[in-house]
Copies of this chain bind each other. A is one copy, B any other.
Amino acid sequence: MASPGSPVVELVFGRWTSHVLWTLANHGRMRFGELREHISAVTPKVLTQRLRQLERDGFISRAYHPEMPPRVEYECTPLAISLRPIFTQIVEWSDAHLDDVREARRQFDGGVAADQL
């Protein structure tokens, strides 16, 4: 039986990765600038890195339109779409159990200090 320490975690749950995928999945085709706005606080360098990686791994497609000014659009491939059940389940788990984590921390920390998730 494979382990969830499997490559998938690295492929999909690296920094920014799931965020990009989720955004693209919900908005459909998006331009570079749009992604930047939606994924607040990501710098263009890092966003580009993640986009290239996701493209290489087959999760997104990149369409370059040689106009002036240039226009580039990114879109989820079917492979990325196939991740949806996983994302959905993660969101459901969050809604159901995130408070439990907060409470566990409060207990562990001695009931006092902060609990920034």
Contacts and interface: CB of A to CB of B under 8 A. Distances in A.
Interface of A: 1-9, 11, 13, 16, 18-19, 21-23, 26, 55-58, 79, 82-83, 85-87, 89-91, 93-98, 100-101, 103-105, 107-109, 117
Copy count, this protein chain: 2
A18 B2 contact: no
Contacts of A16: 5
12 contacts: A2-B91, A2-B95, A3-B23, A5-B16, A5-B19, A6-B94, A8-B93, A56-B105, A57-B101, A57-B105, A58-B107, A79-B97
B18 A87 contact: no
Contact of A94 (B2, B18, B23): B2
A13 B85 CA distance: 17
Given A86-B89, A90-B86, A101 B4 contact: no
Given A4-B18, A4-B91, 10 more contacts: A8-B98, A9-B90, A56-B108, A56-B109, A58-B100, A79-B101, A82-B93, A82-B96, A83-B93, A86-B93
